[in-house]
A and B are shown apart, each in its own frame.
Chain A
Amino acid sequence: EPEVTQTPSHQVTQMGQEVILRCVPISNHLYFYWYRQILGQKVEFLVSFYNNEISEKSEIFDDQFSVERPDGSNFTLKIRSTKLEDSAMYFCASTQGQGLRSNQPQHFGDGTRLSIL
Chain B
Amino acid sequence: LAKTTQPISMDSYEGQEVNITCSHNNIATNDYITWYQQFPSQGPRFIIQGYKTKVTNEVASLFIPADRKSSTLSLPRVSLSDTAVYYCLVGAFSGGYNKLIFGAGTRLAVHP
A56-99 to B contact mask, C-beta < 8 Å, 1/0: 10100000000000000000000000000000010101010110
Chain A contacts of B95 at CB under 8 A?
Answer: 98
In residues 14-56 of chain A, which contact B (Cβ within 8 Å)?
A: 30-31, 33, 35, 42-45, 48, 50, 55-56
Q: Is B81 close to A, CB under 8 A?
A: no
Checking B44, B93, B105 against A108 with a beta-carbon cut-off of 8 angstroms, the contacting residue is B44
Most buried by B among A33, A58, A91, A103: A103
Chain A contacts of B96 at CB under 8 A?
Answer: 30-31, 50, 97-98
Q: Is B94 close to A, CB under 8 A?
A: yes
Beta-carbon contact of A50 and B97 below 8 Å: yes
B73-105 to A contact mask, C-beta < 8 Å, 1/0: 000000000000001000011111111111111
Beta-carbon contact of A56 and B43 below 8 Å: no
Beta-carbon contact of B49 and A105 below 8 Å: yes
- B contacts with A, residue count (CB < 8 A): 26
Chain B contacts of A35 at CB under 8 A?
Answer: 100
Q: Is B41 close to A, CB under 8 A?
A: yes
- A contacts with B, residue count (CB < 8 A): 30
- Interface on chain A toward B: helix, strand, loop, or mixed SS? strand
Q: Is B13 close to A, CB under 8 A?
A: no
Q: Is A11 close to B, CB under 8 A?
A: no
Beta-carbon contact of A108 and B49 below 8 Å: no
Chain B contacts of A44 at CB under 8 A?
Answer: 102
Q: 24 pairs across A/B with beta carbons < 8 Å?
A: A31-B97, A43-B38, A43-B44, A43-B87, A45-B99, A45-B101, A48-B98, A55-B97, A56-B99, A93-B100, A95-B97, A97-B97, A102-B32, A103-B49, A103-B92, A105-B34, A105-B46, A105-B49, A107-B46, A108-B44, A108-B45, A110-B41, A110-B42, A110-B43
